[in-house]
Structure 1
Amino acid sequence: MSNDVSYTPEEVANILRISKFTVYELIKRGELTAYHIGRKVRVEGADIESYKRKSKGLSPLESLIASPLDILAPNERSKHCFESDESLVICGQDIVLDILTRHLEKQFPQVHFLRRYIGSIDGLMALYRGMANVVTAHLWDSDTNEYNTPFVRRLLPGHPTCIINLVYRMEGFYVAKGNLKNITTWSDLTKPDVRFVNRERGSGARVLLDEQLRISEINHKDILGYREEEMTHLAIASKVARGEADVGLGIEKVAMQFINLDFIPLHKERYDLVIRQEDLERPHFQALMSILQSPSFRNEVLGIGGYDISQMGQIIAKT
């Protein structure tokens, strides 16, 4: 690879042996420098080498999941997250969190807001370990038919938390336009001619799927593609849109971005913020609560479509 040559995201993906969508996430997060020529994105060879050096031996996937805090010793992580007013770590993958972070940055330009694009269970574990300040969850508990609270109680024992609603979202199947294979129920995933693409373990979508399979007494071994995983709703939808899979599970908002996809609604989910109760009185978190109630933020979320904000900012539970 020449440092004097620029590469497309697809070429960068081949060089780093990661997906094209991981490349875009790295660019979005500022971990991989890129520039635009019109609508085209290009990455210099020197910037690819710089990214590889900064990764310090991590695999590309580990580098995507890790934040700069992950290379600190546990006692340093806790100090960095909770004693310093210079940085706050926000975990979750939904675009609404990017909007929320931008609003916080306007109010606290001196604070470094770090975004970690990880799933629900990993986010709760990061909060438990002192590696995050605000995390999101959409974990359905089939025993209680409740979202998030049972998982928070199990995964953060002895740590009082506050669960605050961000939005409600519709979870369902992504299928090709016209749904020619008539995929409408969980049992349809076992059809011999249906290729499924799954989310990674620990994500809310994966928990929903596995719980529904258990309740319906469906063996995951009967699902073609169950072990094939992608890290985001966008990657799942794109794979179905390209014809590389027949069906995947994700949120309605993402499906709206593809003209050749249909969306089969299955389950309305509650997407919540989880923070420590002890942090609730801190200025940054008081500002977060104010933003959730502000017309400007709520109108911005409404404007992008696909979300129910009827309970946004409401405290769902304290554990």
Structure 2
Amino acid sequence: MTRQDDSIKCMVRDYRQKQGWSQKELAERIGIKRQAIYDIETGRYLPNTGISLRLARLFGCRVEDLFVDDTPEQQQGVDLVNGTCLPSTRLALSRVRDRLVGLPLSGHDAMPFGLRSADGLLSEDGKHARIFSPSQTLDHNIILMGCDPAFEILSHHVNRLVRDAQVYCRFASSRRSLRGLGEGVAHIAGSHFHNQDQKESNVIAASRDLQQRRTKVIGFSLLEEGLMVAKGNPLGIRGVADLVQPMVRFVNRDCGAALRVLLDDHLQKAGIAGPMINGYLTEVDSHREGAFRIACNVADAALGLRAIAEAFDLGFVPLTAVRCDLLFPEDLIDHPTVKVVLDVMHSSALRKEIDALPGYEASATGKVIAEV
């Protein structure tokens, strides 16, 4: 433990009293002495990360719900590239001599620019890698498979906290992500299947597809899904029923994608057969590919996220909101970079940035959904 910072307000007593537990009972539940609970609640000491996480798991909340940072956020004058922006626009910041310069991360500028440096090259036999990066670097790199674009934001927050901690995000449908986790080619998988009959579909999928691996399911984001359409929605598309109009050119997602399942559920409820839609059998592998086809006027509607639609300056027709979860195999929880990911998911900085994304909400970020 370290001495309590006066800027941090401890809420442990409030949570304990809501449960009707004494300090002794709480101490026994997390495996520390009663005196330690007294010192934490009175502000004499700030617990270490391990104890903080145990307390948060026990109370079913976030670490930052228990230890609230009252430090005022630092603000400085900033010069924006490309003029003015709306409040809460995300910014990439840098100092240029004595000026703080902000690059707005909105519209097309929200998408990555340039090529990523490689750690190695595949050899001619196709079975080996010529490695550039030090062995220690490879040990700290982890792979996250999933299709939430905000995973890249998580990656940057991790790298900002620990410079040698790198999260490589690989786009994959929820089904493919779970398969990659089960096959042992990923450390973490993202899943955003849609709940049916009050059942947790992400948990059910993890139980079914990862039978041999004990896994922790933790909430990452709530995101708005629907139909991306041309700017101004010139064809007046209001829902999946409008996709059957002959003039509408639609592009579908690949089988196994959660959005494909969502569409089929809506079509079934509306009594519409998929082949009745012009383009139902035309598939793309990502939100961005669908958005690109609309932007290039080779399609009129595609499945995707509000954030992607706004990045491509398109219109958007909402269908539902879904929770995206991250799945962590129990045997990889102690990986140093996975630990950093778990810590970052409890940070207010990450939640505030997720809340600032179009069509996103961070109310579930860092919450333990289930252990399977």
The TM-score normalised by the length of structure 2 is 0.61
Question: Do the aligned residues in 1 keep the contact of 2:147 with 2:174 (CA within 8 Å)?
Answer: no
**Residue of 245, 248, 251 corresponding to 1:194:** 248
Task: State the Cα deviation string for residues 144-196 of structure 1 (Å, max 9, x = none).
Answer: 56441121111112322111111100001112233232222222222222110
Aligned to 2:343: 290
Equivalent residues in 2 for 1:1-319, closer than 5 Å: 28-30=115-117, 54=122, 85-142=139-196, 144=198, 146-259=200-313, 261-319=314-372
CA separation in 1, counterparts of 2:307 and 2:334? 33
- AA aligned to 1:277 is E
Residues 122 and 229 of structure 1: is their aligned pair in 2 closer, same or farther, counting only changes over 3 Å? Answer: same
Look up the SS of the partner of 1:245 in the other structure. coil
Contact 2:141 2:337 in 1 (8 A): no
* C-alpha distance in 1 between matches for 2:113 and 2:286: 13
Aligned to 1:5: none
Which structure's residues are more often helix, by fraction?
Answer: 1
Tell me the TM-score normalised to structure 1 length. Answer: 0.70
For 1:111 and 1:126, the matched residues in 2 are separated by 21
Q: Output the CA distance in 1 between the equivalents of 2:179 and 2:163.
A: 28
Alpha-carbon displacement from aligned partner over 1:72-96 (angstroms, at most 9, x marks no partner)? 8xxxxxxxxxxx8433111123332
| 2: CA distance, partners of 1:113 / 1:266 | 31
Q: 1:117 to 1:28 in 2, by over 3 A?
A: farther
Aligned length in residues: 254
In structure 2, what is the Cα distance between the partners aligned to 1:121 and 1:25?
25
CA shift for structure 1 position 270: 0.6
Could you list the runs of 5+ residues in structure 1 that have no partner in the other structure? 1-23, 32-50, 59-70, 73-83
Secondary structure (helix, strand or coil) at the match of 1:212 reads helix
Query: Which sits farther off after the overlay, 192-201 or 300-309?
Result: 300-309
1:228 deviates by: 1.6
- Which stretch of the first structure deviates more once superposed, 304-313 or 177-186? 177-186
Which consecutive aligned stretches of 4+ in structure 1 deviate over 6 angstroms post-superposition?
55-58
Q: Residue 265 of structure 1: CA displacement?
A: 0.8
Is this contact kept in 2: 1:142–1:211, CA < 8 A? no
Report deviation, 1:266. Answer: 0.8
**Contact 2:226 2:305 survives alignment (8 Å):** yes
Question: Counterpart of 1:311 in 2: which secondary structure?
Answer: coil
Say which SS state the counterpart of residue 233 (structure 2) adopts: coil
User: What SS does the corresponding residue of 1:162 show, helix, strand or coil?
Assistant: strand
Contact 1:147 1:270 in 2 (8 A): no
Whole-Å separation in 1 of the counterparts to 2:352 and 2:345? 11
CA RMSD of superposed structures (Å): 3.0
Higher Cα radius of gyration: 2
- The 3 A distance-change label for structure 1 pair 93 and 25 is farther
